[in-house]
Amino acid sequence: MLPTDVPALWLRDNCTCADCRDPLTGQKLYQITDLPEQLAVGTARPLEGGASANGWEVVWAPDGHVSRYTAQWLERAADPDPRTEDAKDLWGSAASLADGLPETTWSAYLADDAERLRMLEAVARLGFCLLRGVPVRDGQSQQVARTFGFVRETNYGTQFEVRVEERPNNLAFTNVAITPHTDNPYRDPVPTLQLLHCLVNDAEGGDSGLVDGFAAAAALRESDVEAFAALTGTQVPFAFRDDVTELSAHSPLIATDPAGRIREVRFNNRSLGTLRLPAAQTEAFYAGYRAFARLLLDPERQLTFKLGPGDCLVFDNTRLLHARTAFARGGARHLQGCYADLDGLLSTVAVLRRKEAQPC
Ligand code: OGA
Ligand code: ZN
Ligand code: ZN
């Protein structure tokens, strides 16, 4: 028997016949409003040549349309949203990264699909990976981005130079310490991936840090429900300006999906703008902001390491915060970076998995 609790409209909207979907692209050929209002399963019988366990053929009332469904398709579990905490391995501290850093060499990454998949899956699940031995040449962070997706151009260019500038428009381009933050929270949409490629790092200091913002947000939800609610429930303005740019975007510090799962974290003390909200709401926000900052800035939560020439860090800018310690002003330190997006990376993961499932 066809399960009786299957909603008729859902079942019909998943018909794969050539009238409903273009056979070449698999895309739907109708609008939901084209389906009969009084749609119902007219008859359902086991698919030809097998027991009902293999599927059903449904003839619909009132229009007599015929659809076929396999039992395997009907029983498939929900596809989880790859962006929420449920699809992640949270790490609350460096010590909880049991298998060490997700890293490989650039040559292994290029030569071996399985190795490339392992690194990109690490970005999806842990929030980052580290590629070693990426050539110490101009433009390589973009080359890395192009192996799994597309570079996102911004007012900083297709790539940006992280080094001490004469007239910096961002504290990143000085020698001061940069505390844990996500990049460009003043952009809408925010870049979901960031790459940093180290060309030189001879300066005293200039060590890197990463913090799992999802793990910290989950800890806040455990320890201080009110603070968590104030942060998920308050849109805050972020802003950036220089001579030729004036950007602003509104977002909560912790964004959740409709089921309450953590989906995005934005945190940047340098570019938080001015909230203009009723006093009680403002106070609740600031209490939450302080509580969240305490967690995020706790050194125990930070993974620290030093990037050396050829190292390229790829990380999820909607989840991980990154930081660097101050470095001696005269010292040589130069990183190049670019932005890219998670949708492209997740697409590459899916295609590599497809290939892995069907080796040629
Ligand atoms: C940045 C940044 C970190 C570093 O450029 O966004 O945070 O290691 N840089 O210099
Ligand atoms: Zn159909
Ligand atoms: Zn940054």
pLDDT in tens, 58-102: 999 999 999 999 999 999 989 899 999 999 999 998 888 878 899
Q: Is the dihedral of CA 231, 218, 182, 151 positive or negative?
A: negative
For the chain, domain boundaries: 3-75, 85-353
Residue 330 has what pLDDT? 79
Give the separation between CA 193 and CA 15, rounded to whole angstroms.
36
- Predicted confidence at residue 37, as pLDDT, reads 96
Amino acid at 116: R
Ligand 1 within 6 A of CB of 172: yes
∠ CA 312-315-318, nearest 5°, is 155
Summarize the confidence of residues 231-251 as an average pLDDT. 98
pLDDT reported for residue 4: 87
Name the percent of the chain lying above pLDDT 70.
Answer: 98
Identify the residue whose C-alpha is closest to ligand 1 atom 8: 324
pLDDT of residue 146: 98
Mean pLDDT of 283-308: 97
319: which 2 tokens? 């989840």
pLDDT at 1: 80
Q: What is the CA radius of gyration of the chain?
A: 25
pLDDT over threshold 90, residue 341: yes
Q: What is the pLDDT of residues 154-193, one digit of tens each?
A: 999 999 999 999 999 999 999 999 999 999 999 999 999 9
Helix pair 213-223, 279-296: axis angle to 10 deg? 120
**CA-closest candidate to residue 178, choices 198, 160, 157, 164:** 164
What's the 83 CA to ligand 3 centre distance in angstroms?
Answer: 21
Query: Which range among 75-84, 131-140, 205-214 shows the weakest confidence by mean pLDDT?
Result: 75-84
The closest residue, in CA terms, to atom 2 on ligand 1 is 172
Q: What was the pLDDT predicted at 275? A: 98
The pLDDT value recorded for residue 168 is: 94
- Name the residue at shortest CA distance from atom 4 of ligand 1: 324
Ligand 1 centroid distance, CA of 255 (Å): 24
Distance set, CA 137 to CA 168, 195, 232 (Å): 23, 15, 42
Does the CB atom of residue 320 touch ligand 1 within 6 A?
no
- State the pLDDT at residue 50: 59
How far apart are alpha carbons 358 and 325 in whole angstroms?
Answer: 46
Q: How far apart are CA 32 and CA 14, in angstroms?
A: 11
Distance 315 CA to ligand 1 centre (A): 12
Q: In ligand 1, which atom is closest to the CA atom of 307?
A: 8
Over range 262-289, report the average pLDDT.
98
Residue 335: CB within 6 Å of ligand 1? yes
On whether the CB atoms of residues 349 and 173 are closer than 8 A, the answer is no
CA distance 60 to 14: 13
* pLDDT(329) > 90: no
Q: Where are the beta strands (DSSP E) in 133-177?
A: 151-152, 160-162
Q: Does domain 85-353 have CATH number 3.30.930.10?
A: no
More confident residue, 53 or 8: 8
* Closest-approaching ligand to the CA atom of 19: 2
Burial of 76 (0-12, 13-18, 19+ CB in 10 A): exposed
Regarding the beta carbon of 224 and ligand 1, being less than 6 Å apart is answered no
C-beta of 313 in contact with ligand 1 (< 6 A): no
Average pLDDT on 136-155 reads: 98
Residue 105 has pLDDT above 90, yes or no: yes
Give the distance (Å) from ligand 3 centre to CA of residue 17.
49
Distance CA 316, CA 296 (A): 16
pLDDT of 360 reads 64
Atom of ligand 1 nearest to the CA of 183: 6
Is it the case that residue 200 has pLDDT exceeding 90? yes
Poorest-pLDDT segment among 3-12, 43-52, 314-323: 43-52
Give distance in angstroms: CA of 167 to centre of ligand 1. Answer: 17
| CB of 178 sitting under 6 A from ligand 1 | yes
Going along the chain, which residue ranges are E strands?
40-46, 55-61, 66-70, 103-105, 128-132, 151-152, 160-162, 178-181, 193-201, 208-212, 236-241, 246-251, 254-256, 262-265, 302-305, 312-316, 320-324, 333-340
- Cβ distance 344 to 148 under 8 Å? yes
What percent of the residues of the chain are helix, what percent strand, and what percent coil, each to the nearest 5?
30, 25, 45
Q: What atom of ligand 1 comes closest to residue 337's alpha carbon?
A: 5
Which residue has 């455990």 as its token pair? 222
Please state which of the ranges 302-316, 321-335, 337-351 shows the lowest mean pLDDT.
Answer: 321-335
State the architecture of 3-75 in CATH terms: 2-Layer Sandwich (3.30)
Q: What is the mean pLDDT of residues 126-153?
A: 98
* pLDDT tens digit sequence for 10-57: 999 999 999 999 999 999 999 999 999 999 999 999 987 655 568 999
Task: Please give the single-letter amino acid code of residue 10.
Answer: W
Tokens representing 212 are 């799992």
Q: What is the mean pLDDT of residues 278-295?
A: 98
Computed over every residue of the chain, the mean pLDDT equals 96
Angle at 181 between CA 180 and CA 182, to 5 degrees: 145
> What SS3 state is found at 12?
helix
Burial of residue 23, with CB atoms counted within 10 A of its CB: 0-12 exposed, 13-18 middle, 19 or more buried: exposed
pLDDT at 310 over 60: yes
Q: Which long-range contacts (CB under 8 A, 24 or more apart) does 34-38 make?
A: 35/9, 36/60, 36/62, 36/63, 38/62
Q: Is the predicted pLDDT of residue 224 greater than 80, yes or no?
A: yes
